[in-house]
Structure 1
Amino acid sequence: MNNFIFQNATKVYFGKGCVKEYLACLTKNANTILLAYGGGSIKRNGVYDEITGILKEAGKTIVEFSGIMSNPTYAKVQEGAKLARENHADMILAVGGGSAMDCCKAVSLATRYDGDIWDDFWAQPGVIDFEPLPLGVVVTVAGTGSECNGGAVITNEEKKVKTGRDYPALNPRFALMDPAYTFSVPKKQMASGSFDILSHIMETYFSEPNEDNVSDDIMEALMESVIRNLRIAMENPEDYTARSNLMWDSTMAENRLIKMGKKCDFECHNMEHQLGAYTNCNHGCGLAVIHPVYYRHVYKEGLPKFVRFAENVWGIARDGKTDEELALTGIDALADFIKALGLPTTLKELGVDKAQLKEIADSCGISQGSYKPMTHEEILEIFQECYE
């Protein structure tokens, strides 16, 4: 394996009833809490009432920061930072999925920084040499794994750029993860979020080294788990075992552990981020469209790994197939799984304007970890093949 340093500062409280059991003690040193959430689903499913009840009983002042969108914008980050400063918040509590968590990591930084965090920390890597506002999270959607890292994907609407950075200083102090909180997530959102989990794992798996390493072995087990448990949860959304496994799969995919010793690709994420910046499409749905087509472009350069993927993740027997045939059969299995989930398979289904494809392709970042380094011309070819 390659050299690495591993660190994860987030303390996880996982399981049924964990919010009731631990939230009060975890917020005991904060008098004023910025309570952040999205479009209001937590008010319909009872999570909001449970959390605010616990905080009010503990005598906390609650400042609400709501309406965080699925692709959080820099303008929304600035709105949250202004609220936190004006109300002298001692802590942020983000309740929701990756969008709420990502937005609030950026808010925690912006609240205590006088400059422009986009220019200094997102447009380019920066150095955080001060203490961001403490952040805790309550996870209600499995998908991004944002609860156990310092990563935050933010969209700058003015510049039409969607990008992410991972700063260990932005790791949440704690993550409360009750799988029962995910029961009310609509099936389509569960499918797209779970595909994001699978994508995170694949983007790491399909990269060097190809030699035997622990990270690849863990990832094969995780991919099998996502596929198996998502099939069960699609049939029975309140299967606690399946939902708890998906929730922990999500965390394991993005708590940095599986990335140890790996180059990582994430070209599909680069491409989808720019699709999102231009069209505001659903992240998991965009990834579902791109992945099979992208892999048909790069599999020859990473052939041994794609053979392993077919055999070890999808259980495909060789039966006289050449390595290339076996690799392509594995990619076909991935495409069939996407269709079975009811996820979109074309950019046209996502409402993308074909006339924008070149502009979007030209704006995409180029991954240094891909088996086959992309050009903007090849990215455009992939988008065109994805269109219909």
Structure 2
Amino acid sequence: MLNFEFSTPTKIIFGKGTHGEVGKEIKVRGYHKVLIHYGGTFLEENGVLDTVHKSLSDAGIAYIDFDGVVPNPRLKRAQEGVELCKKEGVDFILAIGGGSAIDSAKTIAYGLANDFDLEDLFLGKVTTTKIAPIGCISTIAATGSETSNSTVIDIETEDQGILKRSYNHDCARPLFAIMNPELTYTLPIYQTCSGAADIMMHTMERYFTNVEDVQLIDRISEGLLVTVRDEALKVIQDPTNYEVRANLMWAGSLSHNGLTGTGRIGDFATHKIGHELSAMFDATHGASLTAVWSSWAHYVYKTNIPRFAQFAVKVFAVEPNFHNLEETALKGIEAWDQWCHQIGMPTSLKELGINPTDEQVIEMAQKAADTGNGVIGGFMKLEKEDIIKIYQAAKG
């Protein structure tokens, strides 16, 4: 096990009706005016926004609504949010929604606390440890952004199209995360399952490591993976099952708060490869990951066959062949594909509805490689040509 630092400063308020407590949580911290950041119209339609407004008003806290969040959130909208915060004297950012709303809120918070151009932060030209205070109310089990240190945003450029970039620092962990599984009941099944796939991937990209003697975190990770594997199948049949929704929601946070990456070197190559699909084709995040994971797995599994065999046996209950671990490893990849299809997720670009040209593949591979200064991945180092081969294999 490697040396590590692990910080979980976010207070979790979990359970039925908890979104009505938001005013109390902000008041006790001494803030006075809140920017409520969200997207779509469902918060008005299901009464959540009214509940939040009342909670803030009852606590004597002023607020201003700021909508416009879209899947794969845009830097431009966040920059508009920064200007609104400065104009209105906002001292607290509240995100309501999933990863897109929370990441956009984090971006606004970075802009409010710093003087540099936000684009420079995400392009790696500047760094910071400062961010304005943020909290969130989660409405989807997926990215885990409510407890993570990660912020992902889309930058629209004139010469390179859309760049999906991230900035990671512990200052971006929200002060609190309110998590009411009831708010996920009306989420479309496709979005629910895409979220479940993202939870799986956040855990798997830490699980696939070449570091030895990490059994404790392996067992925690396998427990998360098996739970999400099973609950995703259940939620399709019973979307308003509170316990199922609760397990998925809590798994989303635990998968991406850093716990399952302690003591090891993980691998987020699939996320970087999938991000470029979302940037170029506006693909749903979780689906973009499942569309390429098995192609990545087939490309890299020989780096550590026992690790893939362990995944097969512990997560998908594949009968181990101790005389041929490679066979076991490959059956694990196959089992992953079968599970994805059971929950309606794609395992190829064709199934995702995307058929990139060779030029587009080269462009995406270059952009993915650029995020790691030419090399991505920890399980196996991948350069541009490796990424091109994975995209080509994923075409199906």
Q: Which residue does the alignment assign to 2:184?
A: 182
Q: Which residue does the alignment assign to 2:361?
A: 357
Are the equivalent residues in 1 in contact too, given 2:321–2:327 (CA < 8 A)? no
- Aligned residue type for 1:62: Y
Are the equivalent residues in 2 in contact too, given 1:102–1:152 (CA < 8 A)? yes
Q: How does 1:321-336 map to 2 (within 5 A)?
A: 322-336=324-338
- How far did residue 106 of structure 1 move? 1.0
Matched, 1:138 2:137: yes
Q: How does 1:1-388 map to 2 (within 5 A)?
A: 1-20=1-20, 22-28=21-27, 29-119=30-120, 121-124=121-124, 126-130=126-130, 132-158=131-157, 159=160, 160-318=162-320, 322-355=324-357, 356-365=360-369, 366=372, 369-388=377-396
Number of aligned residue pairs? 385
**Helix, strand or coil for the counterpart of 1:154?**
strand
**Helix, strand or coil for the counterpart of 2:303?**
coil
- How far did residue 211 of structure 1 move? 2.8
Q: Percent identity?
A: 33
Unaligned runs of 5+ in 2: none
Q: 1:328 to 1:174 in 2, by over 3 A?
A: same
What is the distance in 1 between the residues matched to 2:236 and 2:58? 37
- Aligned residue type for 1:275: L
Are the equivalent residues in 2 in contact too, given 1:292–1:335 (CA < 8 A)? yes
Are the equivalent residues in 2 in contact too, given 1:90–1:133 (CA < 8 A)? yes
**Helix, strand or coil for the counterpart of 1:136?**
strand
- 4+ residue runs over 4 A deviation: 366-369
Unaligned runs of 5+ in 1: none
Deviations 1:144-163 (A, max 9, x none): 00011221101112143212
What is the distance in 1 between the residues matched to 2:266 and 2:126? 21
**Helix, strand or coil for the counterpart of 2:352?**
coil
**Helix, strand or coil for the counterpart of 1:138?**
strand
- Aligned residue type for 2:387: I
Query: What is the TM-score of this pair, normalised by structure 1?
Result: 0.95
- How far did residue 369 of structure 1 move? 4.3
Query: What is the TM-score of this pair, normalised by structure 2?
Result: 0.93
- Aligned residue type for 1:371: F
Are the equivalent residues in 1 in contact too, given 2:227–2:247 (CA < 8 A)? yes
Are the equivalent residues in 1 in contact too, given 2:144–2:252 (CA < 8 A)? yes
Are the equivalent residues in 2 in contact too, given 1:137–1:176 (CA < 8 A)? yes
Q: 1:212 to 1:386 in 2, by over 3 A?
A: same
**Helix, strand or coil for the counterpart of 2:349?**
coil
Instruction: Kindly report the root-mean-square deviation, in angstroms, between the aligned alpha carbons of the 2 structures.
Output: 1.6
Deviations 1:279-308 (A, max 9, x none): 111111100101111101111112111111
Are the equivalent residues in 2 in contact too, given 1:108–1:135 (CA < 8 A)? yes
What is the distance in 1 between the residues matched to 2:361 and 2:126? 31
Are the equivalent residues in 2 in contact too, given 1:157–1:277 (CA < 8 A)? no
Are the equivalent residues in 1 in contact too, given 2:355–2:395 (CA < 8 A)? no
What is the distance in 2 between the residues matched to 1:122 and 1:211? 35
- Aligned residue type for 1:5: E
What is the distance in 2 between the residues matched to 1:114 and 1:310? 49
- Aligned residue type for 2:253: T
Are the equivalent residues in 2 in contact too, given 1:210–1:305 (CA < 8 A)? no
What is the distance in 1 between the residues matched to 2:240 and 2:49? 20
Are the equivalent residues in 2 in contact too, given 1:105–1:150 (CA < 8 A)? no
Moved more, 220-229 or 338-347: 338-347
Deviations 1:305-353 (A, max 9, x none): 1111111111111257610000000000000011111112332343434
What is the distance in 1 between the residues matched to 2:32 and 2:293? 46
What is the distance in 1 between the residues matched to 2:170 and 2:129? 12
Are the equivalent residues in 1 in contact too, given 2:193–2:343 (CA < 8 A)? yes
- Aligned residue type for 2:298: R
Moved more, 352-361 or 191-200: 352-361
What is the distance in 1 between the residues matched to 2:31 and 2:6? 29
What is the distance in 2 between the residues matched to 1:64 and 1:16? 24
- How far did residue 18 of structure 1 move? 1.7
- Aligned residue type for 1:133: A
**Helix, strand or coil for the counterpart of 2:264?**
coil
